[in-house]
Chains A and B, each alone.
Chain A
Amino acid sequence: MPNDLDKVIACLKFLGLHPSMYVYRWRFLTQKIAFLAKALGMDIGYDFTVYVAGPYSRELNCDYYPDEIKTKMDALQTDYVLTPPDLLVLERIRNCRGLLENQSLMEAASTAIFFLRQDHSISEDDLFMNLKQLKPHIGDSDRVIGITKAKELLFKPEYLSEDLKREMDEWDRLEG
Chain B
Amino acid sequence: MNDDIYLLLGASEKLNSRIVSLARCLILALLSYFVDGIQFRELKAALKMSDGKLISNLNGLRAMGYVVKSEAEVDKKKVDVYSLTAKGRTELSKVVAWMELVQKVASEGDEKCQMILTR
State the A residues within 8 Å of B (CB). Answer: 23-25, 27-28, 31, 51-53, 56, 58, 61-62, 65, 102-104, 133-137
Contact B36 A136 (CB under 8 A): no
List, in ascending order, chain B residues with CB within 8 A of A102's CB.
75
Q: A24-B72, A25-B73 are in contact. Are A135 and B35 (CB under 8 A)?
A: no
A-B contact count (CB 8 A): 51
**Bitwise interface map of B from 39 to 75 toward A, beta carbon under 8 Å scored 1, else 0:** 1011101100000000000000000000000101111
List, in ascending order, chain A residues with CB within 8 A of B73's CB.
24-25
Q: For the complex formed, measure the closest distance between the CB of A5 and the CB atoms of chain B, giving whole angstroms.
A: 15
> Interface residues of B: mostly helix, strand, loop or mixed?
mixed
Contact A52 B36 (CB under 8 A): no
**Bitwise interface map of B from 18 to 41 toward A, beta carbon under 8 Å scored 1, else 0:** 000000000000100111111101
Q: A24-B81, A51-B46 are in contact. Are A61 and B35 (CB under 8 A)?
A: yes
Contact A137 B75 (CB under 8 A): no
Q: A52-B46, A135-B45, A136-B45 are in contact. Are A62 and B35 (CB under 8 A)?
A: yes
Contact A56 B45 (CB under 8 A): no
Q: Which of A31, A104, A133, A134 contacts B36 (CB 8 A)?
A: A31
Distance in angstroms between the alpha carbons of A106 and B56 in the assembled complex: 31
Q: For the complex formed, measure the closest distance between the CB of A152 and the CB atoms of chain B, giving whole angstroms.
A: 20
> Which 7 pairs across A and B sit closest by C-beta, in order of nearness?
A24-B72, A137-B41, A52-B46, A61-B35, A27-B36, A103-B75, A103-B74
Contact B34 A56 (CB under 8 A): yes
New A-B contacts (15) at CB < 8 Å, excluding given A53-B39, A103-B74: A23-B72, A24-B37, A24-B73, A25-B73, A52-B34, A52-B42, A52-B43, A53-B36, A58-B34, A61-B35, A65-B35, A103-B75, A134-B45, A136-B41, A137-B42
Interface centre among A24, A25, A103, A135 (most CB of B within 10 A): A24
Q: For the complex formed, measure the closest distance between the CB of B95 and the CB atoms of chain A, giving whole angstroms.
A: 20
